[in-house]
Structure 1
Amino acid sequence: MKKIIFILILSISFSAFSQDPFLQKSNPEAKAEAVRITNLYIPELSLTGEQQLLFQQKVEEFLIRRQKIEAEFKGKEKLDLLYQLQQEETDEMNDIITRPQIQVYKKIKPRIQPLETIEKEK
């Protein structure tokens, strides 16, 4: 019985301290772009110091995911996945910024982080 409890506690501790796989691999280009994007949002959202860091990390995470989608998919499927990714990013920003900030964020996000468009074939 003690062994089972020990194994259970051990497995829980491993999962509790695991990291997001997207952030485990450092990507200097994504980090630089995340800093640039965050700097555009700072005056618009009046981000605090702690919010800036969390916001930048979240933007970087989603930039890495976006790059992966752009590399693996094409056409409408790619656009649908990018749209879904932007929705997830907006939802996760709810944990970082306040309700008034999220309202401003939703208004200015299409200008700062536009979604790609595709050409229709004739």
Structure 2
Amino acid sequence: MKLLPLLLTLFLSINVFAQDPMLQKNNQALDEQAKELTQTYSKELALNGEQIGMFENKVEEFLIRSEKIKKEFQGRKMLEMLYTLQARETAEMDNILTRPQLELYKQIKPRIQPLEELDMDKKK
């Protein structure tokens, strides 16, 4: 009787701890871009050694997701999804950065990683 709950728990935990295969693909260009962005942010945020590694991994994760969105969507839908993705990235940086670093990150991110605009939006 105890075997059933044990098996259910085992199968659920496997799904919870499974890694996203999309994020496991090694893309040298995105890896380099993540390193460059991390160095740029580090100069302004004064990241410590532990933060640098976590920050770089998080940036690369979101660069991969951004590339996928750019390949699959276009126009306003793409920009809406990129905006949402960027907001999620900023929220997840809360786990890596201190409160003052996070506030500064929010201020400098639009300058370092600006969102694209639609041609229609540029004419307004």
2:82 aligned partner: 82
Bigger share in helix: 2
Q: Which runs of 5+ in 1 are unaligned?
A: none
- Is the 1:69–1:81 contact (alpha carbons within 8 Å) kept by the matching residues of 2? yes
Gaps of 5+ in 2: none
Report whether the alignment pairs 1:95 with 2:95: yes
Tell me the distance in 2 between the aligned counterparts of 1:112 and 1:7. Answer: 48
1:69, distance to aligned residue in structure 2 (A):
0.7
CA distance, structure 1, for counterparts of residue 50 and residue 20 of structure 2? 20
Range that drifts further, 11-20 or 76-85: 11-20
User: How far apart in 1 are the matches of 2:85 and 2:46?
Assistant: 24
Does 9-18 or 78-87 show the bigger shift? 9-18
Identical amino acids, percent of aligned pairs: 51
TM-score normalised over the length of structure 2: 0.90
Q: Which amino acid in 2 is paired with 1:64?
A: I
| RMSD of aligned alpha carbons | 1.7
For normalisation by structure 1, the TM-score amounts to 0.91
Confirm or deny that 1:24 pairs with 2:31: no
The alignment of Structure 1 onto Structure 2 pairs a total of residues equal to 122
Aligned mates of 1:36, 1:59 — CA distance in 2: 10
Please state whether the residue corresponding to 2:119 is helix, strand or coil: coil
Q: Which residue of 1 is the match for residue 10 of structure 2?
A: 10
> Residue 118 in 1 paired to residue 118 in 2?
yes
Q: Where does residue 51 of structure 1 map in the other structure?
A: 51
Match of 2:33 in 1: 33
- Aligned partner letter, 2:57: Q
1:70 paired to 2:73? no
How many Å apart are 1:16 and its aligned residue?
Answer: 4.3
Structure 1 residue 87: deviation in Å?
Answer: 0.3
Question: Does structure 2 retain, via aligned residues, the 8 Å contact 1:22–1:61?
Answer: no
